[in-house]
Amino acid sequence: MAPGSGLSDPLLTNLVNRDLVPWYRKKNLRVLYLLLLPTCIGIEMTSGFDSQMINTVQISPTWQKFFNKPQGSLLGIISAAYNLGAICALPFVPYVNDTFGRRWAIFFGSWIMVIGSFIQAFSIDAVMYVIARWILGFGIPFCIIAGSSLMGELAHPKERPIVTSLFNALYFVGALVAAGISFGTQAIHNDWAWRIPSLLQAGPSLFQICFIFFIPESPRFLISKDRLDEAFQVLVQYHAEGNADSEFVKAEMAQIEGTIQIEIEHSKRSWGEMLSSPGMRKRVIIGSMLGLFTQWSGNTLISYYLNDLLKLIGYTDPDFKGKLNVGLNSWSLVNAVIISLFVRRFPRRKMYLICAASLLACYIGWTISMERFITTKSMAAAKLTIFFIFMYSPCYNIGYNALTYTYLVELFPFAQRAKGITIFQFFGRGAGFFTTFVNPIGLNNIAWKWLITYCCWLAFEIIFIFFMFPETYGRTLEELAFLFEDQALADEATMKMEKLIDHEGNNVNRYNAKVTTSRDRGSSFA
């Protein structure tokens, strides 16, 4: 499907393409990206840590003994409670984001996860353990939605696709650390074998709490609150290395200010507007289905139930399963980061189609090889199954890992961005809750035939992406703001930008005057 008619003229994109200086040669931009690493880009490490921690502790005999070898629905709810907590938090996330800003939302969500981690580590029974996992899940959407928005809104337009793509890639850092820690603590022959990994799950959140206020607030959020001078200062410092006369920053400030003015004029900032116009309904449908695709493509089967999958193909040795899990997460991290570094080179829609098609091919091969082992007990079929489990990772990461938040930030305009990503999270967490709950039931009851359901769903994904996903490649966020709307709004945004550029000199002079006055008084300008 071709994009809508409402694309603004790529005036700022042309200026971005003229900038040939790489980010690592810009001191302020280097500092910004360094600070974004623990505060925003690293947020998904918590989710990765959780999936692999709950996956790996199941291998621990002490965990199995403490919780009386949970199976079926009990095992399902232990895994799914994380997503259930996230679903319950979603109605509150956009309000916190749009009222208090991205940084406070991350700070708030991080404290909730720290509390959940401590309760999980010191659980005395399965009920307390499930409640702790619910609390952990309640905190994560505040951080994910705010962090993905903040990265996209702070990063230089040239690096924005890479930065937002690395957001999901660092999921595997958390997964790898959790797999390694949980494997290492198996040598402890008491309850600390699973309590230590549970306690260390607070690590990424503590980093966010410590560093979040070292980074600036989103300039788009500041502009939406009429804090124009503060927004301009952020753009000057990080996108122009302190040069207030930068032609690029003048154009960027004008484009953001003009576009947000139009968005707010045509927006009630309510949930109802998400379905009030054809353009927003299209965005909501795409965001909702993308949420389902990221969780119903078979990934939760590997993330949460690798132990059960390996049992089905004859591997029962805890040492082997632990090593394989560490190797799988190492491989996932490597290919996820490599793919993220190349997202600027390929159109989004094409990458999603390649992703879904390759996943379908992978799952078909996996289903056949697992059936062959269960029927014939052939070790060659078992090894082939492991091959497909490893192949699944790069296939999934091409689209659903590397592009998810890049695409969402581009798809939704600023005024609806937090609500749009919240809708994506609702469908993603709902799908994650459902699959983590039913996967052990399906594997127990129909074994390899359960994989056929994923094959059918993946075939549907290919069709939906082909007909419904628009292309957003090669544009700034503001140039995509009216992607599905009437061309008149895009033209209005362009005209406002041109007028604001003409008057931007006044803003620059006002900013410089404040700096001079502040220095004369012997204080720093903030």
Among 19, 451, 486, 119, CA closest to 266: 486
- Can you tell me the distance from the alpha carbon of 404 to that of 463, in angstroms, rounded to the nearest whole number? 18
Average pLDDT over residues 293-315: 85
- Asked whether the beta carbons of 87 and 429 are under 8 A apart, the reply is yes
Residue 82, C-beta contacts closer than 8 angstroms, at least 6 positions apart = 50, 54, 133, 134, 136, 137, 140
Q: How high is the pLDDT of residue 120?
A: 94
**What distance in Å separates the CA atoms of residue 180 and residue 326, rounded to the nearest whole number?**
6
Q: Which residues of 288-321 are buried (b: 16+ CB within 10 A; e: fewer)?
A: bbbbbbbbbbbbbbbbbbbbbbbebbebeebeeb
For the ranges 171-185, 218-232, 469-483, 510-524, which has the lowest average pLDDT? 510-524
Within the chain, all domains assigned CATH 1.20.1250.20 are found at 9-215, 276-489
Contact predicate 271/415, CB 8 Å: no
Cα 48 to Cα 393: distance, rounded to the nearest angstrom: 14
Label residue 518 by pLDDT band (50, 70, 90).
very low
Structure pTM?
0.79
Fold of 276-489: Growth Hormone; Chain: A; (1.20.1250)
Distance of CA 343 to the CA centre of its chain: 15
* Residue 195, pLDDT score: 92
pLDDT in tens, 305-338: 787 888 888 888 878 887 888 888 889 889 999 9
Question: H or E segment at 509?
Answer: helix 487-520
Q: How confident is the model at residue 495, as a pLDDT?
A: 66
**Alpha helices by DSSP H, 266-347:** 278-295, 299-312, 318-341
Using alpha carbons, list the distances in angstroms from residue 280 to 269, 427, 441: 13, 17, 37
Mean residue pLDDT of the chain comes to: 84
Question: What is the rounded CA–CA span in Å between residue 261 and residue 255?
Answer: 10
Q: Which residue has the higher pLDDT, 444 or 235?
A: 235
What residue type is assigned to position 423 of the chain? I
- Identify which has the larger pLDDT, 523 or 414: 414
pLDDT for 80-112, tens place per residue?
888 889 989 998 998 999 899 999 999 999 999
pLDDT of residue 459: 96
Is the confidence at residue 417, as pLDDT, over 90?
Answer: no
Query: Which superfamily does 9-215 belong to?
Result: MFS general substrate transporter like domains (1.20.1250.20)
Report the pLDDT value the prediction gives residue 497, as an integer from 0 to 100. 59
Q: What is the pLDDT of residues 207-260, one digit of tens each?
A: 999 999 999 999 999 999 999 999 999 999 999 999 998 888 888 888 888 888
* pLDDT of res. 111: 96
On whether the CB atoms of residues 85 and 433 are closer than 8 A, the answer is: no
d(CA 90, CA 229): 32
CB-CB contact of 504 with 498 (8 Å):
no
The pLDDT of residue 488 is 59
CA-nearest of 2, 152, 65, 4 to 488 is: 4
DSSP sequence for 22-87: -GGG-HHHHHHHHHHIIIIITTHHHHHHHHHHHHHGGG-HHHHHHTT---HHHHHHHHHHHHHHHH
